[in-house]
Amino acid sequence: MKEIYAEVLTIGDELLYGQILDTNTKWVSQELDDIGIKVRRKISIGDKKQEILEALDECLKRSDIVLITGGLGPTKDDITKKTLAEYFDMELALDPSALEDVEDIFKRFGKALTEINRQQAFLPEGCKKIKNERGTAPGMWFEQGRKVVVSMPGVPFEMEAMMAKTILPKLKKHYTLPVIVHKVIKTIGIGESWLAEEISSWEDALPDHLGLAYLPGKGQVRLRLTGVGESREEVETEMDQQINEVLPKIKSYVYGFGDIQIEDAVGELLKSQSLTISTAESCTGGFLAHRLTSVPGSSEYYLGSVVSYHNDIKKETLGVEEKTLEAYGAVSEETASEMAVGIRKKFKTDIGISTTGIAGPDGGTEEKPVGTVWLAISFGKNVFTRKIQLPGTRILNIEYTAIHALNFLRQTLEKP
Amino acid sequence: MKEIYAEVLTIGDELLYGQILDTNTKWVSQELDDIGIKVRRKISIGDKKQEILEALDECLKRSDIVLITGGLGPTKDDITKKTLAEYFDMELALDPSALEDVEDIFKRFGKALTEINRQQAFLPEGCKKIKNERGTAPGMWFEQGRKVVVSMPGVPFEMEAMMAKTILPKLKKHYTLPVIVHKVIKTIGIGESWLAEEISSWEDALPDHLGLAYLPGKGQVRLRLTGVGESREEVETEMDQQINEVLPKIKSYVYGFGDIQIEDAVGELLKSQSLTISTAESCTGGFLAHRLTSVPGSSEYYLGSVVSYHNDIKKETLGVEEKTLEAYGAVSEETASEMAVGIRKKFKTDIGISTTGIAGPDGGTEEKPVGTVWLAISFGKNVFTRKIQLPGTRILNIEYTAIHALNFLRQTLEKP
């Protein structure tokens, strides 16, 4: 079976100036990969006609499909549509169905149609309009022999709906696609090199049609096994066998598979043990609660949080003793413990977890530098505590603390 | 003055599979832009020798500088170093100073040096080592005539330190650079098309050497004005005049300039009016507190939050009346108001702000569909409320609610 290759082309000066983060290419690549289309290259260029024409030409020489995002806005700096019309030698003409779509959108928002939005209904004659259900710029589908070029708006929310509803199904019809299977093992609490050492003999023995990659992230490493074949079932069975072989070597670091997040894993543990939890946060300032409540259905086990930024709140709402704060300070094992015990009691949950630390950039001392954090978990008759020392900036320290806290919870809940 | 062009090349199969979000190219582009180097193109390719060789060759034909990230890890899927040695026809040899660096890093973490990490000290003979202060893979600097190729690790934390400390200063020495100035106006609460209509006469009258771009984001649009010239002072003065001209047309939507976030703007307003604030969150689950506390120094005005996921907490900790919950439900103007009043009283702050809504995916009804949110602000003798209806997924609804709440706060604090 012939492999089908795609390239993702994102257009916008703002990408080259580094003024926005491109999340579209990741999302598009993942969706293509899922249906067996290989992404060969991702390219970002500016809103310049010559650059667009050249890049498009290159992409079409190398690959079967080019998916373009960006440059379709109603404002003057957006030139993708005109340039595509020129590339394919088509005239722009009013598309009545596109005009209807734009009018519908304006009706839905209860606003009057502006002239520049009306111009969005002009499309290159000969392309197929792709309906934009979430915005005013329609997408466009061009064919050149068997090759396909699709142009989509750059707003992720609009582009994603268009891909999911129209473009992916059309691509699946247009091409005969192979089977690519990825399986991801999610580990936490071990670095990439150490993980590689633990599993090196297994990795060396992997057959050629199975590939392994290490994907390090914040406090975590994802192990991705990729298999290619003709039958999904055969590839999956072989991969599952390999995974069963490697798991015992790294068991204590593995919290799940695929897209699962550490907060999902913790949520599953809480649900399966019918436990409820509450949080008392100082340095994480609500971010730990946010991670826990980002899970759909988390209200089943998550009851609430007190963010006690000010010491008075630690005392009055969480019941931390004045003398504890005086003797040990807010960032201490003792304060963390009293916070965890206090929130558990106040919110009547089975578990209370707390964070207290110095997120930075200010507030560090020689004894307790920026990045010093104490965690505590009150559970059963015990209070478990853990000290961590983080090296990052304020935002990173907040994020890492939440990840450490979630992993600490996982380990506590997994104890036999 | 000759313009200097750069390309950013990110290497890693995981990028093409869409399994990680590339934040490096944004960061690198922004830093280059700041010192007057133009990014012409950004490219992502897989860990494949042929692809790397071809892409590098193309980039060097088009541009002066190629900055590469990724593929330097100690594991077997990382091939960037070997491929660069081949491209520049150099042998890999042990670099004693690189070995020292790796040993130092391991000492700092109190771990034993592994053999695969020792191999990271082998570098192409003829390149210049760039010290990695935060990890084990050294960077590499290659020169070809006046052109420069730099290879850096893909871990953002390591790459950023290397760029800031060594690579940017080296590039500034190596080239004579022009002046590029960007000024960004941050607006909130108005869509791109409407904003464009408000300022169209001003935009049409802009001189050719000043460019304008609309950068839409979550609930916000950034207006970016770009000027090029020889003297920073002249360019800046002209741009400031233009900005002073346009500001009166869009005043009520503008919350600041440059990199400022809405939570920074709110923080400034609170500080300048010597006000303190607390939050009571239901649907945002701690995310509003997180946004407020992500600002360094926010402890000056931010005292704390109660995340009242469970109704008992709304009653017992925030003082929402049982009969209010029964008559109007948790997602209602009445409950939002009592939450805001309750947290303000409990935490003794000048302002209390609350969120209550249905983030989804479940919990919606015909009368109150997913995305229905009530906000309330208790300030002075008043309680201000606002209803919003959001169209997104759980995470987007949480994020948008926080942004709306922050803008609601800004408007309340800006009232004469």
Interval B29-63: pLDDT, tens: 999 988 889 999 999 999 999 999 999 999 999 99
**What are the backbone angles phi and psi of residue B353, rounded to the nearest 5°?**
-130, 140
The reply to whether A29 touches chain B by the CB within 8 Å rule is: yes
Extended strands (E) in A284-403:
302-308, 351-357, 372-379, 382-389
Residues of B in contact with A74 (CB under 8 A): 192-193, 196
Looking at chain B, which residue has its C-alpha nearest residue A108?
Answer: B391
Average pLDDT estimate for B307-325: 96
Distance from the B38 Cα atom to the nearest Cα atom in chain A, whole angstroms: 8
The reply to whether A72 touches chain B by the CB within 8 Å rule is: no
- Between CA A5 and CA A32 the distance in angstroms is 10
Instruction: Verify whether the Cβ–Cβ distance B39 to A30 is below 8 Å.
Output: no
pLDDT score for A353:
98
Q: Which helix (H) or strand (E) holds A312?
A: helix A311-316
The reply to whether B286 touches chain A by the CB within 8 Å rule is: yes
pLDDT score for B320:
97
List the single residue in A21, A38, A303 with the smallest CB-CB distance to B310.
A303
List the single residue in A114, A155, A304 with the smallest CB-CB distance to B309.
A304
The reply to whether B32 touches chain A by the CB within 8 Å rule is: yes
In chain A, CATH 3.40.980.10 sits at: 5-174
pLDDT score for B209:
86
* CB-count burial class (<10 Å; 0-12, 13-18, 19+) for B393: middle
Instruction: Verify whether the Cβ–Cβ distance A309 to B299 is below 8 Å.
Output: yes
User: Picking from A278-282, B117-121, B313-317, which range would have the lowest pLDDT averaged per residue?
Assistant: B117-121
Instruction: Verify whether the Cβ–Cβ distance A30 to B19 is below 8 Å.
Output: yes
CATH superfamily of B5-174: MoaB/Mog-like domain (3.40.980.10)
Task: Choose the mutation target among A15, A28, A42, A186 for the interface with B, i.e. most B CBs under 10 Å.
Answer: A42
pLDDT score for B14:
87
Of chain B, the percentage scoring pLDDT greater than 90 comes to: 80
pLDDT score for B198:
94
The reply to whether A28 touches chain B by the CB within 8 Å rule is: yes
Instruction: Verify whether the Cβ–Cβ distance B182 to A17 is below 8 Å.
Output: yes
**What are the backbone angles phi and psi of residue A89, rounded to the nearest 5°?**
55, 55
The predicted-structure confidence for B353-384, as pLDDT tens digits, reads as follows 999 999 999 999 999 999 999 999 999 999 99
pLDDT score for A45:
96
pLDDT score for B76:
67
Q: Please give the residue that has the higher pLDDT: either A180 or B330.
A: B330
Size of interface A-B (CB pairs under 8 A): 300
Average pLDDT estimate for A375-393: 94
Average pLDDT estimate for A306-315: 96
Instruction: Verify whether the Cβ–Cβ distance B294 to A303 is below 8 Å.
Output: no
Are the CB atoms for A159 and A71 separated by under 8 Å? no
| Cβ under 8 Å to B: A residues 298-317 | 298-299, 302-310, 312-313, 317
Q: Which helix (H) or strand (E) holds B328?
A: helix B322-328
User: Picking from A293-307, A377-391, B64-78, B165-179, which range would have the lowest pLDDT averaged per residue?
Assistant: B64-78
Average pLDDT estimate for B127-131: 96
List the single residue in A55, A196, A284 with the smallest CB-CB distance to B75.
A196
In chain A, CATH 3.90.950.20 sits at: 262-414
- Between CA A401 and CA A408 the distance in angstroms is 10
Of A319, A321, A318, A296, nearest in space to A307 by CA: A318
At A60, is the pLDDT very low, low, confident or very high (cuts 50, 70, 90)? very high
The reply to whether B43 touches chain A by the CB within 8 Å rule is: yes
Identify the CATH number of the domain defined by range A262-414: 3.90.950.20
Residues of B in contact with A32 (CB under 8 A): 18
CA dihedral for B315, B320, B323, B327, sign (positive or negative): negative
Average pLDDT estimate for A87-116: 88
| Cβ under 8 Å to A: B residues 365-404 | 391-392, 394-396, 398
Does residue B151 have a pLDDT over 80? yes
Of B203, B259, B210, B216, nearest in space to B237 by CA: B210
Average pLDDT estimate for B391-416: 93
Does residue B216 have a pLDDT over 80? yes
The type of residue at B375 is L
Q: Does domain A179-257 have CATH number 3.40.50.12280?
A: no
- Between CA A374 and CA B179 the distance in angstroms is 47
Are the CB atoms for A310 and B304 separated by under 8 Å? yes
At B228, is the pLDDT very low, low, confident or very high (cuts 50, 70, 90)? confident
At B8, is the pLDDT very low, low, confident or very high (cuts 50, 70, 90)? very high
pLDDT score for B229:
83
Of chain A, the percentage scoring pLDDT greater than 90 comes to: 80
Instruction: Verify whether the Cβ–Cβ distance A306 to B306 is below 8 Å.
Output: yes
At A17, is the pLDDT very low, low, confident or very high (cuts 50, 70, 90)? confident
Q: Please give the residue that has the higher pLDDT: either B374 or B115.
A: B374
User: Picking from A131-135, A138-142, A337-341, B120-124, which range would have the lowest pLDDT averaged per residue?
Assistant: A131-135
In chain B, CATH 3.30.70.2860 sits at: 179-257
Residues of B in contact with A22 (CB under 8 A): 22, 25-26
pLDDT score for B1:
67
pLDDT score for B323:
97
At A114, is the pLDDT very low, low, confident or very high (cuts 50, 70, 90)? confident
Mean pLDDT (chain B, rounded): 93
How many other β-carbons are positioned within 10 Å of the β-carbon of residue A145? 7
The predicted-structure confidence for A125-183, as pLDDT tens digits, reads as follows 999 999 998 888 999 999 999 999 999 999 898 999 999 999 999 999 999 887 888 89
